[in-house]
């Protein structure tokens, strides 16, 4: 039997728990499921989720701060996309299991 580095397991559990906490809100999950297909503007995300732009800005700001989303400016638009390829893979798996 292999020796397990307990501190590494604990660290990973904390990271995974934080990611799952971020996914636990329906609007955040909608945002992420939309951006896994490609970068989106604030207006596209607001329309897709059916919420006010001020609320969307709060969601996006939090998700960017948590390192879940990245952003880039093109002219007057800000595009949001997935910041972590592992999270993109996780979301695609969730989408495959629950959305088909």
CATH code: domain of residue 27: 1.10.10.10
Q: Is 1 within a domain?
A: no
Give me the long-range contacts of 45-48 (CB less than 8 A, separation at least 24). Answer: 45/80
Q: Is 35 within a domain?
A: yes
Q: What is the pLDDT of residues 9-64, one digit of tens each?
A: 777 888 888 888 888 899 999 999 999 999 999 999 999 999 999 999 999 999 99
Instruction: Decide: residue 26, CB within 10 A, 0-12 exposed, 13-18 middle, 19+ buried.
Output: exposed
Q: Is 77 within a domain?
A: yes
Q: Phi-psi category of 67—alpha, beta or left, where left has phi over 0 and alpha has psi -120 to 50? A: left
The confidence score (pLDDT) of residue 52 equals 96
If one counts the domains in the chain, the total is 1
Domain range holding 52?
6-98
Predicted TM-score (pTM) of the model is 0.82
The position carrying tokens 């292999």 is 2
Q: Is 42 within a domain?
A: yes
């Amino acid at each position: 039997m292999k020796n397990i580095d307990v501190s590494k397991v604990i660290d990973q559990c904390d990271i995974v728990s934080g990611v799952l906490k971020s996914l636990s809100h329906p609007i955040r999950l909608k945002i992420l499921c939309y951006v896994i297909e490609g970068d989106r503007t604030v207006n596209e995300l607001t329309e897709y989720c059916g919420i006010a732009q001020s609320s969307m800005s709060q969601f996006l700001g939090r998700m960017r701060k948590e390192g879940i989303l990245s952003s880039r400016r093109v002219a007057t638009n800000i595009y949001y996309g997935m910041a972590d390829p592992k999270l993109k893979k996780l979301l695609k798996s969730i989408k495959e299991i629950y959305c088909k």
